[in-house]
């Protein structure tokens, strides 16, 4: 057992193969009672030594629906203290040479996920000289509801509180508070793009990794529609006071009913970050140069076939025909000649696969390129990657979320097996993980920063290699419009 003193009290972790692990440390007060639907409040200090050997409670949420539940495990740990974090460190108690720190923000459409997944285990990072922190934050209506009587973006405020905890406490775990990299995937990556814009995040991290998430936020009126729909289903006012008085099980059931169906291309009722004039003063997708995040070094990218996680498991890709493809292209103002260009590079692709490739570019690859372009003249260095190794599982290919097991070098976990199968290439995981460690430690992942040649480190069947301006003929056809 290992004991470390934090600002709020001592915590006891476990020794796992030479790595000290602390789980379930509270970084803010439990969001219940007077703290429900309010910004995160400080932790009450404790006496004695607090046990930190088991993962803490997860935020209230619904499970994934079939068939996604088989591909994306989502453990549910009951309890009120869901604002907690975990630390993996090779140097507990601090030392003369503090280590770089990486802070993981999980994805899940802002309504699913937690830090307790096996694939997020941080031992490989600690093994390689990085202090790894993962955190939970409020989800769904409790984290991203929009009310007239409560602040917006409560889940994002939770993340800021966790980063402030890291700033104050990580030295005691052997980490360097002046060398913090925040990284995340999907909704977690969207949050990181927002943190790059937030004035409240200045000084809390120094590098960032955005995996498969586009910079975006919406006006309050648009985000409020989901809150209003859930309130209507419950028969209550769309206020934080009314939601706080509602039965939580009924609230989650109503949330599930309102947000069911759809996909990232066809749309659905969901939760969004909100341009609130406070913690998020502007849409990260249109933020002008000169903001607090411009000096932060950035690693950004996506997977070649993101859409396959959205379209394949439910059979959508087979049901999309030529007329549906044309209708979607009209809706998203993509010229019809784009279909011919995309099909030429994918012989034998079905209309659903062409639409999926377009969706991947519209929603993720084009915004990532646009962000890299916007930062190219700024003080922070930007690097771009693409994950292209195709999973053999259910024809998922290089789908959304597949890269996580490679980044964490955790291919042997059950959740990595669910997406990648049991025989994913360990050498590719070693290369990708090493790039993330190098970026956190030095600001250089091992290839040229973004420039006019558009270098993209591609992790694929042939290993890791730089490709210059991949598929730029396709990108240019959809780049003129703003992806949303």
Contacts of 286 (CB under 8 A, 6+ apart): none
Q: Among 173, 128, 123, which residue's Cα sits nearest to residue 19?
A: 123
The CA distance from 164 to 160, in Å, is 6
Task: Say whether 261 sits in a helix, a strand or coil.
Answer: coil
Give the DSSP letter of residue 304: T
Please calculate the CA angle 400-118-176 and round it to the nearest 5 degrees: 95
Cβ-based neighbours of 86, under 8 Å, separated by 6 or more: 21, 22, 23, 24, 25, 55, 115, 116, 122, 133, 134, 135
> Which one from 306, 353, 386, 474 is the annotated catalytic residue?
306
* Annotated catalytic residue, options 206, 400, 403, 474: 400
Contact between residue 111 and residue 188 where contact means Cβ atoms under 8 Å apart: no
Q: Is 417 a catalytic residue?
A: no
User: What whole-number distance in Å separates Cα of residue 98 and Cα of residue 89?
Assistant: 11
Q: Tell me the Cα Rg of the chain.
A: 22
CA angle 346, 352, 357 (to 5 degrees): 50
Cα distance between residue 319 and residue 258, in whole Å: 24
Query: Would you call 186 a catalytic residue per the annotation?
Result: yes
Q: Which candidate in 186, 198, 212, 391 is catalytic?
A: 186
Alpha carbons 257 and 262: distance in angstroms, whole number: 12
Backbone angles phi, psi at 301, to 5 degrees: 180, -175
> Distance (Å, rounded) from C-alpha 136 to C-alpha 113?
8
Active-site annotation, residues: 186, 306, 400
């Amino acid at each position: 057992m290992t004991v470390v003193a934090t600002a709020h009290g001592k915590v006891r972790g476990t020794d796992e193969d030479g790595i000290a692990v602390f789980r379930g440390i509270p970084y803010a007060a439990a969001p219940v009672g007077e703290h429900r639907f309010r910004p995160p409040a400080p932790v009450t200090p404790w006496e004695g030594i607090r046990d930190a050997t088991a993962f803490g409670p997860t935020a209230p949420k619904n499970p994934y629906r079939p068939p996604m539940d088989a591909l994306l495990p989502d453990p549910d740990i009951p309890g009120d203290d869901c604002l907690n974090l975990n630390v993996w460190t090779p140097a507990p108690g601090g030392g003369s040479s503090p280590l770089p720190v990486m802070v993981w923000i999980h994805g899940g459409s802002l309504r699913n996920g937690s830090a307790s997944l096996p694939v997020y285990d941080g031992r490989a990072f600690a093994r390689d000289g990085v202090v790894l922190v993962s955190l939970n934050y409020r989800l769904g209506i409790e984290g991203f509801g929009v009310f007239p009587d409560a602040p917006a973006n409560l889940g994002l405020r939770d993340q800021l509180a966790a980063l402030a905890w890291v700033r104050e406490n990580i030295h005691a775990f052997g980490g360097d508070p002046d060398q913090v990299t925040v990284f995340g995937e999907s909704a977690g990556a969207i949050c990181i793009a927002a943190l790059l814009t937030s004035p409240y995040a200045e000084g809390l991290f120094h590098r960032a990794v955005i995996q498969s998430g586009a910079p975006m936020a919406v006006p309050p009126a648009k985000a409020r529609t989901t809150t209003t729909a859930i309130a209507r289903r419950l028969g209550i006012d769309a206020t934080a006071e009314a939601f706080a008085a509602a039965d939580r099980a009924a609230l989650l059931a109503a949330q599930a009913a309102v947000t069911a169906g759809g996909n990232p291309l066809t749309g659905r009722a969901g939760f969004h970050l909100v341009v609130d004039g406070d913690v998020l003063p502007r849409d990260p997708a249109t933020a002008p140069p000169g903001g607090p995040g411009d000096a932060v070094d950035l690693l950004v990218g996506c997977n070649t076939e993101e859409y396959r996680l959205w379209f394949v498991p439910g059979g959508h890709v087979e049901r999309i025909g030529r007329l549906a493809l044309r209708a979607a292209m009209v809706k998203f103002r993509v010229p019809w000649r784009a279909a011919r260009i995309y099909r030429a590079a994918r012989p034998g692709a079905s209309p659903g696969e062409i639409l999926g490739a377009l969706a991947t570019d519209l929603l993720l690859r084009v915004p990532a390129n646009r962000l890299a372009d916007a930062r190219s003249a700024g003080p922070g260095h930007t690097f771009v990657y693409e994950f292209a190794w195709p999973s053999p599982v259910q024809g998922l290919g290089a789908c959304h979320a597949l890269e996580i097991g490679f980044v964490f070098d955790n291919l042997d976990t059950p959740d990595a097996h669910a997406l990648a199968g049991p025989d994913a290439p360990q050498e590719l995981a070693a290369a990708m993980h090493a790039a993330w460690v190098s970026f956190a430690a030095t600001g250089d992942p091992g290839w040229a920063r973004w420039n006019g040649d558009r270098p993209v480190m591609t992790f694929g069947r042939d290993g890791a290699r730089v490709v210059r301006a991949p598929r730029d003929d396709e990108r240019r056809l959809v780049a003129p419009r703003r992806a949303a």
